[in-house]
Chain A
Amino acid sequence: MTSYIIRRVGQFVLVFFAATFLIFAMVFAIPGDPIRALAGEKPMPESLRQSLIQQYHLDEPLLAQYWHYVTGLIQGDLGESFNQRPVADIIKEAFPKTLRLATYAFIIEMVIGVTAGVYAGIRKDKFLDSLVKVSTVAVISVPIFVLGFVAQLVIGVRLGWLPVTAGNPPSLYGYLLPALVLASVSLAYVARLTRSSVVENLRADYVRTAKAKGLSQRRVIGVHTFRNSLIPVITFLAIDLGALMSGAIVTERIFNIPGLGRAVYEATISQEGAVVVGIVTVLVVIYAVANLVVDILYAVLDPRIRYD
């Protein structure tokens, strides 16, 4: 177990350096002018050009540039935007909003997704099961930006049930619609995953044993099947964080939430490459950390799996 954790942390360190290098190298080393990649097509004063060259050490070899970049990253220095605001500051201000949105979405997808999945799994091939199967495919098929606009238009404007935008400062109530939209795709995956996992576990020997012992249906499902069925769902949640982050970029754009996603979107519009690279790097690092934590949790939770 300890050796597994050490190996997994080692892998994380490798992934951290390699992934940040990949992002860095592809942005700064693609043929052409890296200044253009950072600042777009606009004409710029020579002084800004010089300060960008200095800021990113563009006059040094690539590996040295990367070294400056990654040491800065570890110290929390991600460069500056055009109006000389540190990218780290932008992230510090926007991150809590994205975190809130993602947390609400996460709670919604867990509660609804797992419940729907368990019920569909128990009633395999019945009406409810088919309903969950078809509706999840349908939800997965609608790209999140289409879903977001439709929800805004129908629930927000036509029916007037929920606020159309999150408001400023965003309120819990205002977060509800964006969180539902953000949760929808992963919710469908969670439901499907729980369903197939429940179906599989219901056929397992220990479930038959539990039934043969005369345990109540409630206990067989609630304790024996349910808990074991959640293991693959937990693994999914780590992968899901990636989808949540990409989804947040779209959702925040549509519902006007001043989080990380909107900061990225605005930076792509104003072609502030430094801000885009900085925020995406942070998101990638968060994703890698979450994967590390879940992998270790997984090893702790499921003693059947041997990691040698």
Chain B
Amino acid sequence: MTDLSIPTEVVTPEPLTVPPPGKQGKPSSLWSDAWHELRRKPSFIISAAIILLMVVMAIFPQLFTSVNPRECSLINSIQPPSSEHWFGTDLQGCDYYARTIYGARTSVSIGVVVTFFATLVAVTLGSLSGYKGGYLDTVISRITDIWFAIPLILAGIVFLNALGSKGFWNVCAVLIVFGWPTMLRLMRSSVLSVRELDYIDAARALGASDWRIITRHVLPNGITPVIVYATITVGVIIAVEATLSFLNVGLQLPAISWGLMISVAQNRILASPHLLFFPGIFLSVTVFAFILMGDALRDALDPKLR
């Protein structure tokens, strides 16, 4: 679960340890500049606080509730919010507050796992494609075109429907397999613009290997737009998972997920709006935090906008 901290970790000034040759001796890098700006931005602070809260909720739901979300008694079926059940109860009489809290784990972990692996694929193939060019670039770009032709939700519907069993890892697998094309294009075009810069020529003239040039020079300088987009992607994937669960092709009971909670409750929403309201709010606020964080990072990291 260490990768849960990706969005907050990237803004620390640590990347200073690999400064590009041209920047040596300068007091500040792009990242430390960005960090200085971010610390004062309200949108960054708000989104970081929400993300932190959701991550803690995902790892230690016991901190927020002592009620077992799977301990239900039908006698309590569909009660409105009360002092005993803050968010009311669902059809099975389960405590809705506890279920909403435990739902954070599913959403956050799917968002992070899918984004992590999709970004890994995108960064690897995208930098190879952009740096090497030629035949390899053509092949990778055409494959990306093909993947691009299938919208994520449609892919989820067809393949999860065909898979039959729809556990956590099945949903992750389908979203990873279809989640990387946009980031790959971003990475490729970013590498293409970095590749032509003088310090890459200098490194090559000094006899550096391709591997060294890519990992030490191209990646640190070209990865910023991908990191921004990956932050937003965590939010998007969380929303996609919830949508697929809502459409009955995502996670199935007894899994606890915000999308699934709304899906199960959908015929009773008009009579008992709390069944929609609480998971809906948690879901939207989490997605909102990741998108806001991505926006804040982009503003801070794009020197052109300063």
Contact = CB atoms under 8 A, between A and B. Distances in A.
A34 B2 CA distance: 38
Contacts of A273: 161-162
B297 to A, nearest CB: 13
Nearest to B158: A280
B270 interface: yes
Contacts, number: 131
Most buried by B among A11, A150, A246: A246
Contacts of A19: 146, 149-150
B262 to A, nearest CB: 7
Interface residues of B, number: 41
A1 to B, nearest CB: 21
Interface in B245-284: 246-249, 259, 262, 266, 269-270, 273, 276, 280, 283-284
A146 B280 CA distance: 6
B239 A153 contact: no
Q: Which size class do A's interface residues fall under?
A: 35 or more
B149 A157 contact: no
Given A141-B235, A141-B287, A149 B262 contact: yes
B164 interface: yes
A180 interface: no
A22 B148 CA distance: 12
B164 A37 contact: yes
A284 B150 contact: yes
B154 A141 contact: no
A40 B164 CA distance: 7
A297 interface: no
A144 interface: yes
A147 B145 CA distance: 31
Contact of A268 (B161, B259, B283): B161
Contacts of B284: 141-143, 146
B142 interface: yes
B187 interface: no
A162 interface: no
A26 B259 CA distance: 25
A269 to B, nearest CB: 6
B140 interface: no
Contacts of A249: 153, 157, 247
Given A19-B149, A143-B239, A268-B157, A153 B276 contact: yes
A14 interface: yes
A146 B159 CA distance: 24
Nearest to B163: A30
A224 interface: no
B266 A149 contact: yes
B172 interface: no
B242 interface: yes
28 contacts: A14-B142, A14-B145, A19-B150, A26-B158, A26-B159, A27-B158, A37-B161, A37-B162, A37-B163, A37-B164, A137-B291, A137-B292, A137-B295, A141-B235, A141-B285, A141-B287, A141-B291, A143-B239, A150-B280, A153-B276, A157-B270, A245-B151, A249-B247, A265-B247, A265-B248, A268-B247, A280-B157, A284-B150
Interface of B: 142, 145-147, 149-154, 157-159, 161-164, 235, 239, 242-243, 246-249, 259, 262, 266, 269-270, 273, 276, 280, 283-285, 287-288, 291-292, 295
